[in-house]
């Protein structure tokens, strides 16, 4: 499925004369210089970035659901995406913030938003309240979104430029973005795999995890920090993309079970596949102008989220 999605993404785009034949032409040297440029410099980094964003967002959701033991936890639900978006908007509107760096402020915004949500939910006491976690995330996300919108009103040119990005967009990514995502996705997979045993113990309950040598507070701190960084990096490059972090872990648990050592790889591959499929569909569904990938993923994820809301017997 992943390979087919990659082929579909690479063979589709704005130029109808550059398709599957030109994709294979990259390897046998039969392409024109223009076709090679389209494939190598535009479509390939876009597909790579879409896959890596799927990995990072999927892992971020898996981690948050593990440390909170809440099936609704995800970067978008807990306000992390919105915090990262606020950090990015600040770099565009305020020249002083731009000197600090887009990526740094996006990640910082994600960490601060995630930290506030966990404080509201009682994370400092080591006992998270599921209802307060969700309500806290919605509140923090709403405040971050409101501040971001207010900042955009200060500069109309920036507001129009941010509009498409805010819906989730990988159309303008290039190889430097892919290189950044490669580093973070590999680091995220390695650290999550190292934490997977702690996640399995945490699923048994705080007292059981503590007795078996896994301090729940340490796991919560490391997991939340990693999830916020992964989501923040993705937002700084492609904008806030919802539902990947909540849908992918649920699907993988249904297909592969509850062992987090298995789920790390499963979530990574499934998240990458979903995002690459979304990238291919975004090129086909938008007509003359592409539909943002965030919209396509939302059209896929929202029905599942609604289904999960009605079918889940115990959300806390």
As a whole number of angstroms, the distance between CA 199 and CA 306 comes to: 26
Q: Give the sign of the dihedral formed by CA 287, CA 289, CA 293, CA 298.
A: negative
Asked whether residue 249 carries a pLDDT value surpassing 70, the answer given is: yes
The predicted pLDDT at position 316 comes to 42
Give me the mean pLDDT over the 65-77 stretch.
Answer: 90
For residue 160, give the CATH number of its domain: 1.10.3470.10
Q: Tell me, yes or no, whether 251 lies in a domain.
A: yes
Asked whether residue 95 carries a pLDDT value surpassing 50, the answer given is: yes
Q: Tell me, yes or no, whether 191 lies in a domain.
A: yes
Structure-token pair, residue 76: 């978008």
The predicted pLDDT at position 126 comes to 65
- Cβ atoms < 10 Å from Cβ of 26: 16
The helix-helix angle for 260-285 and 44-68 (nearest 10°) equals 140
Q: 97 to each of 48, 75, 101, how far by Cα in Å?
A: 29, 24, 7
Across the chain, mean pLDDT equals 87
- Asked which of 106-110, 197-201, 217-221, 234-238 is least confident by mean pLDDT, the reply is 217-221
User: 231-247, pLDDT tens digit by residue?
Assistant: 999 999 999 998 899 99
Asked whether residue 102 carries a pLDDT value surpassing 60, the answer given is: yes
Domain count, the chain: 1
The predicted pLDDT at position 245 comes to 94
Which residue has tokens 């990262």? 84
Structure-token pair, residue 221: 């701190």
- Asked which of 94-98, 100-104, 111-115, 170-174 is least confident by mean pLDDT, the reply is 94-98
Q: Give the sign of the dihedral formed by CA 134, CA 136, CA 142, CA 145.
A: negative
Whose CA is closest to 43, among 60, 74, 20, 59? Answer: 20
Percentage, residues of the chain above pLDDT 90: 52
Q: Tell me, yes or no, whether 315 lies in a domain.
A: no
pTM for the predicted model, two decimal places: 0.91
As a whole number of angstroms, the distance between CA 251 and CA 266 comes to: 10
User: 160-175, pLDDT tens digit by residue?
Assistant: 767 777 888 898 899 9
Domain of residue 98 covers: 2-309
Give me the mean pLDDT over the 122-126 stretch.
Answer: 73
Q: Tell me, yes or no, whether 207 lies in a domain.
A: yes
Asked whether residue 205 carries a pLDDT value surpassing 50, the answer given is: yes
User: 3-48, pLDDT tens digit by residue?
Assistant: 999 988 888 876 655 666 677 777 777 677 777 788 888 889 999 9
The predicted pLDDT at position 314 comes to 46
To 10 degrees, the CA torsion angle through 208, 192, 301, 275? -170
As a whole number of angstroms, the distance between CA 221 and CA 248 comes to: 23
As a whole number of angstroms, the distance between CA 96 and CA 101 comes to: 10
Q: Tell me, yes or no, whether 99 lies in a domain.
A: yes
The predicted pLDDT at position 16 comes to 59
Q: Tell me, yes or no, whether 37 lies in a domain.
A: yes
The predicted pLDDT at position 307 comes to 80
As a whole number of angstroms, the distance between CA 84 and CA 78 comes to: 12
Whose CA is closest to 246, among 3, 40, 78? Answer: 78
As a whole number of angstroms, the distance between CA 279 and CA 169 comes to: 9
Q: Which residue has the higher pLDDT, 183 or 1?
A: 183
Asked whether residue 196 carries a pLDDT value surpassing 80, the answer given is: yes
Which residue has tokens 């294979």? 24
Q: Which residue has the higher pLDDT, 270 or 284?
A: 270
Give me the mean pLDDT over the 55-64 stretch.
Answer: 97
Q: Tell me, yes or no, whether 316 lies in a domain.
A: no
Q: Tell me, yes or no, whether 177 lies in a domain.
A: yes
């Amino acid at each position: 499925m992943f390979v087919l999605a990659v082929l579909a993404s690479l063979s589709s785009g704005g130029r109808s004369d550059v398709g599957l034949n030109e994709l294979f032409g990259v390897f046998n040297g039969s392409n024109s210089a223009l076709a090679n440029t389209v494939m190598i410099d535009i479509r390939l980094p876009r597909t790579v970035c879409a896959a890596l964003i799927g990995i990072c967002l999927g892992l971020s959701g898996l981690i948050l659901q593990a440390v909170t033991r809440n099936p609704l936890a995800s970067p978008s639900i807990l306000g992390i995406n919105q915090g990262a978006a606020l950090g990015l908007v600040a770099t565009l509107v305020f020249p002083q913030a731009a000197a600090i760096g887009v990526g740094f402020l996006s990640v910082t915004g994600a960490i601060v938003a995630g930290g506030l949500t966990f404080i509201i939910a009682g994370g400092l006491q080591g006992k998270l309240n599921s209802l307060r976690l969700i309500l806290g995330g919605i509140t923090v996300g709403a405040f971050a979104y409101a501040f971001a919108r207010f900042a955009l009103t200060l500069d109309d040119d920036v507001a129009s430029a941010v509009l498409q990005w805010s819906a989730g967009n990988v159309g303008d990514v290039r190889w430097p973005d892919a290189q950044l995502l490669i580093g973070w996705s590999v680091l995220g997979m390695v650290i999550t795999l190292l934490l997977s045993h702690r996640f399995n113990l945490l699923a048994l309950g705080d007292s059981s995890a503590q007795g078996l040598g896994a301090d729940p507070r340490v796991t919560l701190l490391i997991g939340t920090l990693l999830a916020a960084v992964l989501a923040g990096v993705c937002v700084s490059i492609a904008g806030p993309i919802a539902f990947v972090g909540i849908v992918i872990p649920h699907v993988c648990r249904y297909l592969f079970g509850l062992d987090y050592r298995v789920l790390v790889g499963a979530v990574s591959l499934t998240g990458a596949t979903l995002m690459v499929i979304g990238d291919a569909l975004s090129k086909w569904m938008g007509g003359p102008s592409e539909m943002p990938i965030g919209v396509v993923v939302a059209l896929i994820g929202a029905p599942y989220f609604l289904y999960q809301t009605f079918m889940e017997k115990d959300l806390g």
